[in-house]
C-alpha cells in the first residue's frame, strides 16, 4: 500500500465512523473537510472503497432511488446509490490507526489527515503526534537555515526571498504547534487538579481547549513595551 492510499483509507474510515455515506457525499467531505484530497477523483475513491469492503471494514447497502418528476413513468436507468457503512471490524481498525504515533503521522499529508480527526483521538496520542510533528519541523528548519547559510552568496534576490518565505512558513507552524501543545497540557493539568477530574481516569477524546487563532504576521498588543 502506498503512503497516499493509506492516508485516503484512513480518512474514509474516519468519515464513515461519523455516519454512513454514498460515494458522492464521501468525495464532497474529503474535498471540503480535508484539503489534501482536493485534487483526487472517483477513479481514486472507488478502488479504495472496494478494497475496504473486501477487507471487511465496510459494507455496501442500497440507498434510496432519486426522486423523479411526476410525469416520468419509468425508473429505467435510475439506480439506487450505494451507501457505505463502517463495520465493527472497521471501527476497531480505525481506532488502531488512530493510536499510531510513528513517523508517518508527522509527515505533511498524513499529519493533516490525523489532525482532522483529533476530536476522535485520545489525548496522550494527540500529544505524541503534535510533539513528533514539532520535532520533525524543527529538524527541517535547522536544515533550511544551514542550507541558506551555505548558499546565500550564490542566490539571486528572488530565490533568496523564496527560501526565506519557506522558512517563515515552517516557523509559523512551529509556533502554532507550540500553542496547541501548551493548550493540551493546560487542559490535562486542569482536569488532574480538579476534584471531579481526579476521581476518574480520563479516557475520552475531548479536546484540551484549542488556542484562539492568532495572526502571527501582526504584533501582539501584549508585547508593546511603550
Checking if the pLDDT of 119 tops 60, the result is yes
58 beta partners? 86
Asked whether 26 and 12 are in contact (CB, 8 A), the reply is yes
Instruction: Say if strands 21-22 and 58-62 run parallel, antiparallel, or are unpaired.
Output: unpaired
Q: How many Å apart are CA 185 and CA 81, to the nearest integer?
A: 45
The CB density around residue 47, as the number of other CB atoms within 10 Å, is 12
Out of 90-94, 117-121, 188-192, pick the least confident: 188-192
Label residue 194 by pLDDT band (50, 70, 90).
low
Q: 86 — alpha (psi -120 to 50), left (phi > 0) or beta?
A: beta
Between CA 61 and CA 83 the distance in angstroms is 5
pLDDT at 199 over 50: no
Going from the C-alpha of 48 to that of each of 81, 110, 115, the distances in angstroms are: 17, 17, 21
Most confident of 49-63, 66-80, 96-110: 49-63
Mean pLDDT of 149-166: 91
The CA distance from 8 to 63, in Å, is 23
Task: State yes or no: pLDDT of 200 exceeds 60.
Answer: no
pLDDT (tens digit per residue) in 31-45: 877 766 666 667 888
* Lowest mean per-residue pLDDT among 95-99, 190-194, 200-204: 200-204
Residue 62 has pLDDT above 70, yes or no: yes
Grid coordinates given for 137: 519541523
pLDDT at 225: 43
Say whether pLDDT at 201 is over 80: no
- Please, which contacts does 175-179 make with residues 24 or more away whose CB atoms are closer than 8 Å? 175/216, 176/216, 177/130, 177/133, 177/134, 177/137, 178/134, 179/211, 179/214
Q: Which residues contact 98 (CB under 8 A, 6 or more apart)?
A: 117, 120, 121, 122, 125
Averaged pLDDT score across all residues of the chain = 80
Amino acid at each position: 500500500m502506498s503512503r497516499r492510499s493509506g492516508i485516503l483509507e484512513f480518512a474514509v474510515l474516519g468519515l464513515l465512523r461519523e455516519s454512513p455515506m454514498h460515494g458522492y457525499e464521501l468525495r464532497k467531505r474529503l474535498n471540503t473537510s480535508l484539503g489534501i484530497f482536493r485534487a483526487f477523483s472517483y477513479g481514486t475513491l472507488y478502488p479504495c472503497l472496494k478494497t475496504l469492503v473486501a477487507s471487511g471494514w465496510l459494507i455496501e447497502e442500497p440507498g434510496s432511488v432519486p426522486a423523479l418528476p411526476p410525469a416520468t413513468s419509468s425508473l429505467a436507468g435510475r439506480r439506487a446509490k450505494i451507501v457505505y457503512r463502517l463495520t465493527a471490524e472497521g471501527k476497531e481498525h480505525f481506532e488502531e490507526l488512530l493510536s499510531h504515533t510513528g513517523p508517518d503521522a508527522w509527515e505533511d499529508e498524513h499529519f493533516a489527515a490525523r489532525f482532522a480527526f483529533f476530536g476522535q483521538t485520545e489525548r496522550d496520542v494527540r500529544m505524541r503526534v503534535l510533539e513528533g510533528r514539532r520535532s520533525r519541523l524543527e529538524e527541517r528548519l535547522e536544515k533550511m537555515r544551514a542550507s541558506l547559510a551555505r548558499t546565500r552568496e550564490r542566490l539571486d534576490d528572488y530565490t533568496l526571498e523564496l527560501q526565506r518565505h519557506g522558512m517563515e512558513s515552517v516557523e509559523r507552524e512551529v509556533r502554532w504547534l507550540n500553542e496547541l501543545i501548551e493548550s493540551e497540557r493546560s487542559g490535562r493539568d486542569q482536569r488532574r487538579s480538579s476534584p471531579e477530574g481526579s476521581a476518574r481516569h480520563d479516557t475520552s477524546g475531548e479536546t484540551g481547549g484549542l488556542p484562539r487563532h492568532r495572526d502571527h504576521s501582526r504584533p501582539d498588543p501584549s508585547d508593546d513595551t511603550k
